[in-house]
Structure 1
Amino acid sequence: MRDRGRTRRLMGLGARTGGALLKTRLGGQADWRSLGEALFEGLSELKGPAMKLAQIMSQWDDLLPPDLADELARLQRQAEPMPWPRIREALVMQYGDIDQHFSQVEERPFASASMGQVHRAVTVAGDTVVLKVQYPGLAEVLESDLKQVKRIMRLGRWFKVPQARLDALFEELAVGLREELDYHTEASAMLRYRERYQDNPRLVIPEPLLALSGQHVLAMQFVDGTPLRELESVDDATRQGIAVALADWITEELFTYGELHADPHSGNFAADEHGRLVIYDFGSVIPVPEVRLKAMMQLLDATLAKEPMAMDEALLKMGGRQGQGAPLSLYKESAECVAPLFAPGEQDFSDVRVHRRLRELTPKVWAAMDRLQPPADTLLLSRALNGHYWNLVRLGARLDMHARTQPLLAWARQPA
């Protein structure tokens, strides 16, 4: 990966995005499809932080114009792979003579992402493995790329997002990307999760192969599965089983172990032939302190009670809403939108009426962002939970969220 020309191309994509936003702000109609196609083509080739940011945005299905969201979503499943000769460079740097370790390495990856791509291989001992290969030279251009991404993110001020929140979101992105570059950290997370859930019959976590892994290549056991985004065509029982396993796992992560898998990209999950949930990628795992969990549950409690003043008090306790003028009418409307998801009985996550109300609410939330000012240290947590929510939507999950949350709300009400 070469630095020459990257800055200029990133600046060009940022300028084009800014032009579309300005046109909309002035009352015009932007060609979001055309912008999305340009971003897809440019970011597919450039990879790195800007592509990661676009993938993150595409997970917020209710935020972007539909045409733009559709194009950016392609970055999660159709991004152009880096040519094999460049990937081979990385493998040679890791292993020296590749043939001493592998009898075969498939040149075409079966997954491409922002920071690396995944190739299937066969060891000299005959075992099928997966090699997650970091794009060559990415570490060298990361910091200069991040500077351009920070400039692009300033466009968020046009949506009245406070600069402090944009800075916090950028720092969160930067820290996460720097950590993703170290595959030793990801291997450690995989080992920790494998031990933690070794007795869970509904989860499969591939084993990292430390003897074949290094800072820029992560080798792991090959576990075949149908990607989550392709499960729409499988039988309902399988989809519901995966949905329940996903929801239970997220709850246990948070409330038992104080951590959360923070990259809800649908390509990171699959169903194996036995209907078990396969979790492939552990490049982003964040700690979630108990005090933060309790505060968020207290906010949910006030929301379900449809008490705007209590919602505002909970947000203030979390460190948000530092400005003047609590948006009580927005709190009330938000509660009306959210409450049906937690009504007694089984809730159908494929109910388009719920999503329509949430989509209609989103622009109002962004318009009030200067007053809401959500706490900076909840941004990644909120994004991750939102992404997991949309994975449940894609699965058409039917879950009794009322029964699931009642014990957690009772826990949050207990005095410290």
Structure 2
Amino acid sequence: MRERGRTRRLLGLGTRTGGAVLKMRLGGQSDWRALGEALFEGLSELKGPAMKLAQIMAQWDDLLPPELVEELARLQRQAEPMPWTEIRRTLDAQYDDLDGVFASVEPRPFASASMGQVHRAVTREGDTVVLKVQYPGLDQVLEDDLVQLRRLMRLGRWLRVPQARLDALFEELAASLRGELDYRAEAKALVRYRARYAHLASLVIPEPLPALCGPRVLAMRYVPGTPLRELETSDDATRQRIATTLADWLTEELFTFGELHADPHAGNFAADDQGRLVIYDLGAVIPVPPERLAAMLRLLEATLAADPMAMDSAMRALGGRQGEGAPLALYQEAAAAVAPLFAPGPRDFGDVRVHRRLRELSPRVWAAMDRLQPPAETLLLSRTLNGHYWNLVRLGARLDMAARARPLMARALA
């Protein structure tokens, strides 16, 4: 009965969302605030993969209406926690004697997300740790939700997205979500990243405690910090230090190790009391093949050269173009919108003029969906980079992107 109720609610929310998108596609006006409120209330209670996908949508600040993004972003910081009695069952299954392992476990979580929530605890040895606990029955919920998601993605045909592309997008999303269910894999990622970036004194990655970890419980040493979203009003020096560390780390991830932290919502990042960047969540790390990175850099190179024909060629190479009639005017406007971020010298990511121009392009992008399509192979990578970009915007970063990008393009395209 609960599964049927969940399915009905998901289908109802999906149909409502699809109707609003279709109305926008046809040139009408939708009440995005009301839709966002409905999605927040429904998905906050349902949790799981549906809520995760809404959090992903909230990172598309440059494509979705701001009223909708604002409501969906609440899912990253205001989601209702699951009752302690249900979480306790997962902990009891992991630790035969919970009270024998821990002197105390705080029943109320200090963080609640889509796939699990985080509780502070103290071991019998007196160490303060955090326990990331997966919601009970999430593996089955995931598979049920994916069935509904495949059905809902058929709405993409209203936007003239071919079925083969929808299927490829679904498979990438499904693989990413399934990969987040095994917390032992995340514990291994924490170990790998701690060793890999030990030379970055401005970066902190919590230490996992393997003896206390399992497939549905991840135990880490407690690292307090101020969430990234709350840094928007902090002093400029702290924000610039955090932004620089974030940019340096992402660059090394991509161009040295061919991986990328693929869950960039702001709740996964913080600043500690020494002004260091803290990365709390490594549940989603994706490989980035060199050839895929090179293809995206060719698009960037063409964009910075304001060469619409080269941009179209790069889009075709990425699999992001189909049909006849390259939208050359749209390419030119996109190049003009992006160019200020890559002008020589430090550029202000908080410059609202840049964001305004990007937002103004959104209706044009939707209107060109018969020719411009999200490349299935780069969907997750593009979405992730977009999310990290908006974290830099929230920090008001001032970075010399020209000095950063040119050597990387030369190296990757050599």
TM-score (norm 2): 0.96
Q: Which residue of 1 aligns with 2:141?
A: 141
Could you tell me how far apart the structure 1 residues matched to 2:311 and 2:37 are?
40
Could you tell me how far apart the structure 2 residues matched to 1:311 and 1:131 are?
47
Is 1:368 aligned to residue 368 of structure 2? yes
Is 1:89 aligned to residue 92 of structure 2? no
Q: Note the C-alpha offset of 1:411.
A: 1.7
Secondary structure at the counterpart of residue 247 of structure 1 = helix
Matched AA of 1:193: Y
Give per-residue Cα distances to partners, 1:187-219, cap 9 Å, x unaligned. 111111001011210100001111000000000
User: Contact 2:25–2:367 (CA<8 Å) still a contact in 1?
Assistant: no
Q: Note the C-alpha offset of 1:375.
A: 2.5
Q: Which residue of 1 aligns with 2:48?
A: 48
Aligned pairs for 1:79-228 (under 5 A) are 79-228=79-228
Aligned pairs for 1:2-401 (under 5 A) are 3-24=3-24, 29-401=29-401
Could you tell me how far apart the structure 2 residues matched to 1:143 and 1:314 are?
36
Q: Note the C-alpha offset of 1:4.
A: 4.6
Could you tell me how far apart the structure 1 residues matched to 2:336 and 2:185 are?
42
Secondary structure at the counterpart of residue 43 of structure 1 = helix
Does the C-alpha gap of structure 1 residues 332 and 225 become closer, same or farther in structure 2, counting only changes over 3 Å? same
User: Contact 1:295–1:412 (CA<8 Å) still a contact in 2?
Assistant: no
Does the C-alpha gap of structure 1 residues 390 and 139 become closer, same or farther in structure 2, counting only changes over 3 Å? same
| Identical columns (%) | 76
Q: Note the C-alpha offset of 1:64.
A: 1.9
Q: Note the C-alpha offset of 1:333.
A: 1.2
Secondary structure at the counterpart of residue 148 of structure 2 = helix
Could you tell me how far apart the structure 2 residues matched to 1:23 and 1:382 are?
26
Does the C-alpha gap of structure 1 residues 170 and 135 become closer, same or farther in structure 2, counting only changes over 3 Å? same
Secondary structure at the counterpart of residue 385 of structure 2 = helix
Q: Note the C-alpha offset of 1:77.
A: 0.7
Q: Note the C-alpha offset of 1:13.
A: 1.7
Give per-residue Cα distances to partners, 1:66-123, cap 9 Å, x unaligned. 2222111111110111111110111111112210111111111111111101111111
Q: Note the C-alpha offset of 1:235.
A: 0.7
Could you tell me how far apart the structure 2 residues matched to 1:26 and 1:322 are?
21
Does the C-alpha gap of structure 1 residues 367 and 338 become closer, same or farther in structure 2, counting only changes over 3 Å? same
Q: Note the C-alpha offset of 1:31.
A: 2.5
Give per-residue Cα distances to partners, 1:140-163, cap 9 Å, x unaligned. 221111111222233333334333
Q: CA RMSD in A?
A: 1.6
Q: Note the C-alpha offset of 1:275.
A: 0.5
Q: Note the C-alpha offset of 1:354.
A: 0.4
Matched AA of 1:38: A
Runs of 4 or more consecutive aligned structure 1 residues displaced over 6 Å after TM superposition: none
Q: Note the C-alpha offset of 1:314.
A: 1.9
Q: Note the C-alpha offset of 1:16.
A: 2.7
Does the C-alpha gap of structure 1 residues 81 and 3 become closer, same or farther in structure 2, counting only changes over 3 Å? same
Q: Note the C-alpha offset of 1:323.
A: 2.2
Q: Report how many residues are paired.
A: 414
Could you tell me how far apart the structure 1 residues matched to 2:318 and 2:6 are?
39
Q: Note the C-alpha offset of 1:26.
A: 6.1
User: Contact 2:25–2:159 (CA<8 Å) still a contact in 1?
Assistant: no
Q: Note the C-alpha offset of 1:25.
A: 5.4
User: Contact 2:55–2:73 (CA<8 Å) still a contact in 1?
Assistant: yes
Q: Note the C-alpha offset of 1:393.
A: 0.2
User: Contact 1:322–1:371 (CA<8 Å) still a contact in 2?
Assistant: yes
Q: Note the C-alpha offset of 1:2.
A: 5.2
User: Contact 1:239–1:396 (CA<8 Å) still a contact in 2?
Assistant: yes
Matched AA of 2:42: G
Could you tell me how far apart the structure 1 residues matched to 2:330 and 2:23 are?
27
For structure 2, the 5+ residue unaligned runs are: none
Q: Note the C-alpha offset of 1:293.
A: 1.3
Q: Note the C-alpha offset of 1:410.
A: 1.6
Q: Which residue of 2 aligns with 1:405?
A: 405
Matched AA of 1:400: D
Deviates more, 1:15-24 or 1:403-412: 15-24
Could you tell me how far apart the structure 1 residues matched to 2:182 and 2:4 are?
24
User: Contact 1:104–1:122 (CA<8 Å) still a contact in 2?
Assistant: yes
Could you tell me how far apart the structure 1 residues matched to 2:26 and 2:239 are?
44
Could you tell me how far apart the structure 2 residues matched to 1:307 and 1:217 are?
50
Does the C-alpha gap of structure 1 residues 255 and 27 become closer, same or farther in structure 2, counting only changes over 3 Å? closer
User: Contact 1:160–1:366 (CA<8 Å) still a contact in 2?
Assistant: no
Q: Note the C-alpha offset of 1:258.
A: 0.4
Could you tell me how far apart the structure 1 residues matched to 2:341 and 2:165 are?
28
Matched AA of 2:235: D
Could you tell me how far apart the structure 2 residues matched to 1:212 and 1:412 are?
41
Matched AA of 2:190: M
Q: Note the C-alpha offset of 1:269.
A: 0.3
Give per-residue Cα distances to partners, 1:333-374, cap 9 Å, x unaligned. 111111111010110001000000000112212322321234
Q: Note the C-alpha offset of 1:322.
A: 3.5
Matched AA of 1:381: L
